[in-house]
Structure 1
Amino acid sequence: MRQGFKFALPVKAAKVPSGPDWLHEIKHDGYRMMVIREQKVVRLLTMNGHDWTKRYPWIVESALRLRQERFVLDGEAVLLGVDGVSDWSGLHSRKYDNEVQFYAFDILAGGGDDHRKLPLSLRKQNLAALLARRSDGIHAASYEQGEIGPDLFRHACLMGLEGLVSKHRERAYLAGRCAHWVKVKNPKHPAYRRVQDQFRDRAK
């Protein structure tokens, strides 16, 4: 469990898949990372390989309270505002690091077993079992299944959320860009504009 875990990355799309085999997750505006626990040692690793274990103590403490002593979770570190919506500005400011929580949407390993070859539907079950006795700083990200995807995206946009990530329920976890992970962003969300600004800066 010390190495070999690389992030699966969604492809961008303009439309949300609507077939019965798709799971749809709300996209939180946070930092993507893995939570890795090996017995009494917990590490928080970002997509760029940075170790942020000391940055978010609540996540670390919550991971240590879970009964299982070996696991690898994929998800996002999120700061929630008073309205329950992720607060990117507050997260980025680092003024509230001790309030940052982790929303796990996948489990790559648990109890010494590698789960990456399992279909997403089974990985979701394993994740729910791990987090059944809820630890306040780590949550299983909620999701919906099937034809509801486009409607869910419209409601997410109306609520000012970042968008959706849709994933095929029968696919394994694969490192790199995955055609069966589809991200559709709310064009009115600040995160969308941040990406556009970064693209323009690189083009200069």
Structure 2
Amino acid sequence: MLQRTLPAGFIAPCLPTKTDRLPSGTEWLHEIKHDGFRVIARKTGVHVRLYSLPGNDLTYRFPLILETLARLRSRSCIIDGEAVCCDEDGMPSFDRIRYRRHDVSVFLYAFDLIELSGDDLRRE
């Protein structure tokens, strides 16, 4: 069986866990699942790459996200988030993001900063 090679330095995102009861306490933070694509954004200098959950290259699919992340002041970072496109009522629309290519209205809900300027923040 042919094994697909992931991009160099690819960090797979944490996956949600199904449970009957949500954990509680000050250590927990719960996030809304928007109706979009999970994205790992990797910035090195002014170069940005976007990857899907299984590691597919989404870099040129979301130009607004690409342009915005390239302008960040950090020399490097890895951000885990969700690319979302909203309809006319401001509601996330999976059909809209799924069928549109190179859409400038797609934005990133960032919910985890994995690396910043060379520092791995996963244990912080």
The alignment's C-alpha RMSD in Å is 1.6
Instruction: Please tell me whether the aligned partners of residues 41 and 49 of structure 2 are also in contact (alpha carbons under 8 angstroms).
Output: yes
Hey, what does 2:5 align to over in structure 1? none
Structure number with higher strand proportion = 1
Counterparts of 2:89 and 2:21 in 1: how far apart (Å)? 27
Letter in 2 for 1:83: D
| Count, aligned residues | 117
User: How far 1:17 sits from its partner (Å)?
Assistant: 2.8
1:73 aligns with 2:92: no
User: How far 1:64 sits from its partner (Å)?
Assistant: 1.1
1:100 aligns with 2:111: no
- The TM-score, its normalising length taken from structure 2, stands at 0.85
* Large movers: runs of 4+ above 6 Å: none
Counterparts of 1:78 and 1:41 in 2: how far apart (Å)? 22
**% identity of equivalent residues:** 40
The counterpart of 1:46, out of the listed 42, 52, 68, is 52
The counterpart of 1:14, out of the listed 10, 17, 20, is 20
Instruction: Specify which structure has the bigger relative contact order, considering alpha-carbon pairs within 8 angstroms and separated by 6 or more residues.
Output: 1
Hey, what does 2:37 align to over in structure 1? 31
Letter in 2 for 1:65: R
Structure number with higher helix proportion = 1
Counterparts of 2:42 and 2:66 in 1: how far apart (Å)? 9
- Structure having the higher Rg: 1
Instruction: Please tell me whether the aligned partners of residues 36 and 83 of structure 2 are also in contact (alpha carbons under 8 angstroms).
Output: yes
Instruction: Please tell me whether the aligned partners of residues 90 and 96 of structure 1 are also in contact (alpha carbons under 8 angstroms).
Output: no
Hey, what does 2:97 align to over in structure 1? 91
- Structure 1: which 5+ runs fail to align? 119-204
- Structure 2: which 5+ runs fail to align? 1-7
Letter in 1 for 2:115: A
